[in-house]
Structure 1
Amino acid sequence: MHAADGQPRRRQARGERRIAEILDAAAVVFGDVGYEKATTNAIATAAGISPGSLYQFFPNKEAIAQALADRFVEQMGRAHRDAFERTNFATVDLDELLDRVIDPILAFNLANPGFKALFARPDMPAGLTGAAAPIQAALLGRVESVLAARAPALPTTDRTRAARTLVQVFKGLLPVVLGAPAGEREVETREMKKVLRGYLAPITG
């Protein structure tokens, strides 16, 4: 009886491991060749399984991308929490604030090249847009909370506009940082922070 009880759990655990392996492989393939050029055969090869085995878990590339997007969103949510929930934004030095907010998000993007392949596409499918929307809204809200802590007299509409500008500037400079050679990345990161600091300092005093 105990063996029978344990067998479904072992099968479930093996299935979950296989799904994780497929998603890991898909992240690599998407990061290497982009979403459009990626194929289920290439993902299966990277995962070390046959295409038939892959299709036991995912019917097509779009389903893999959706599952990977969901995982990325969850991981990015943790990166945002690490960035925004452990700092007293009202009192911390502005340079330290930028370090604490930007560094975890950069680290996530560097560790997950497939994230850009899915979410930086100009023709992102509706399903992926929906997956990314909550995390983008949360990021905007967290930036607004930073501005509210550092500039409480700033009107709400100005705060929202400033937060939106900061997020767009960060997103615009992100490819420069991610695309820099490893030896130059720290320099490009400092340049990004310099730009953001230049915008923030007059607002926050």
Structure 2
Amino acid sequence: MPDQTEKPGKDPAGGERLRRRQARGERRIAQLLEAAASVFCATGYTAASTNAIAREAGVSPGTLYQFFPNKEAIAIELGDRLVHEMRETYGEALAPVDPATPLEEAVGTAVDRFVDFSRRHPVFFTLMHGPDIPGRIAEEHDALHATLLSRVEFLLSSFMPDTPAADITRTAHVCLSVYKAGLELVLGHEGAERDAYVQEIKDVLVRYLQPLVADRAATPSATSLRNTP
């Protein structure tokens, strides 16, 4: 009678060892990326080095090179992961809204989600807005910006249904520029002062958008904003 206990070529123990090695490798990569984020934020991308990243991670440079050949590869992997998470963030922040939603609420929700992401991942701002980011990250940033712009346009169209597409696009560009300019101030402060800058961004956006959506039924808060000097 044939032996049914094990098929030839099967090695359960070997498969388990492989899975453990893969899990250790993923943990090491995560450790190196976290260290790289810290170094990039502290020194900027240009001044950062693989030695500094390895030191921050508590490993030898040789260990780092087992996973990444150079600093640019680390930055690209980190940027790819952050872009993926950012896409999920703006998918939630810029989802379609009920036309009856007050403008202040829609703006506040979107700004809060984006600011929360930037607070948790300040390196995203460093990599995406630095003067010498790697080409792959620059390409990702351009693609992200284009997609983000289209989502802002879609959100604005909920409040401005009869506005020409060219005007919607122009308004979306201004909204993104205002947010990006304010974000640098937000990330440069802590505590109550940071919260105050977040509120300033919301106020600027609402006051800019309010006259453009004036054909919507005004809420009491919207009316007060419009009458504020």
TM-score (norm 2): 0.86
Across the two proteins, how many residue pairs are aligned to each other? 204
Question: Which one-letter code corresponds to 1:100 in the other structure?
Answer: T
Partner of 1:152: 161
Larger radius of gyration: 2
The superposition leaves residues 9-68 of structure 1 with CA deviations (integer Å, 9 ceiling, x where unpaired) of 111111111111111111111111111111111111111111000000000000000001
Q: Does 1:30 align with 2:40?
A: yes
| Partners of 1:182 and 1:36 in 2: CA distance | 29
Residues 29 and 38 of structure 1 are in contact (CA less than 8 Å); yes or no, is this contact kept in structure 2?
yes
Residues 147 and 204 of structure 1 are in contact (CA less than 8 Å); yes or no, is this contact kept in structure 2?
no
Q: Does 1:137 align with 2:175?
A: no
The superposition leaves residues 65-102 of structure 1 with CA deviations (integer Å, 9 ceiling, x where unpaired) of 000100110111121122122x5252211111111101
Identity %: 43
Partner of 1:183: 192
Partner of 2:181: 172
Partner of 1:78: 88
Secondary structure at 1:73's aligned position in 2? Answer: helix
Q: Does 1:101 align with 2:110?
A: yes
**Superposition RMSD on alpha carbons, in Å?**
1.2
Match of 2:77 among 63, 67, 84: 67
Question: Which one-letter code corresponds to 2:88 in the other structure?
Answer: R
Residues 73 and 131 of structure 1 are in contact (CA less than 8 Å); yes or no, is this contact kept in structure 2?
yes
Mark the CA change 1:179 to 1:89 in structure 2 (over 3 Å): closer, same or farther: farther
Cα shift at 1:174: 0.9
| Partners of 1:91 and 1:122 in 2: CA distance | 42
| Partners of 1:25 and 1:202 in 2: CA distance | 46
| Partners of 1:90 and 1:141 in 2: CA distance | 18
Deviating beyond 2 angstroms after TM superposition, the runs of 4 or more aligned structure 1 residues are 122-125
Higher helix share: 1
Question: Which one-letter code corresponds to 1:75 in the other structure?
Answer: E
Residues 19 and 57 of structure 1 are in contact (CA less than 8 Å); yes or no, is this contact kept in structure 2?
yes
Match of 2:14 among 4, 25, 31: 4
Cα shift at 1:122: 2.7
Residues 46 and 132 of structure 2 are in contact (CA less than 8 Å); yes or no, is this contact kept in structure 1?
no
Q: Does 1:51 align with 2:31?
A: no
Secondary structure at 2:163's aligned position in 1? Answer: coil
| Partners of 1:42 and 1:128 in 2: CA distance | 21
Secondary structure at 1:58's aligned position in 2? Answer: coil
| Partners of 2:156 and 2:59 in 1: CA distance | 49
TM-score (norm 1): 0.95
Residues 31 and 115 of structure 1 are in contact (CA less than 8 Å); yes or no, is this contact kept in structure 2?
no
Any unmatched runs of 5+ in structure 1?
none
| Partners of 2:28 and 2:185 in 1: CA distance | 34
Secondary structure at 2:97's aligned position in 1? Answer: coil
| Partners of 1:133 and 1:90 in 2: CA distance | 30
Question: Which one-letter code corresponds to 2:90 in the other structure?
Answer: H
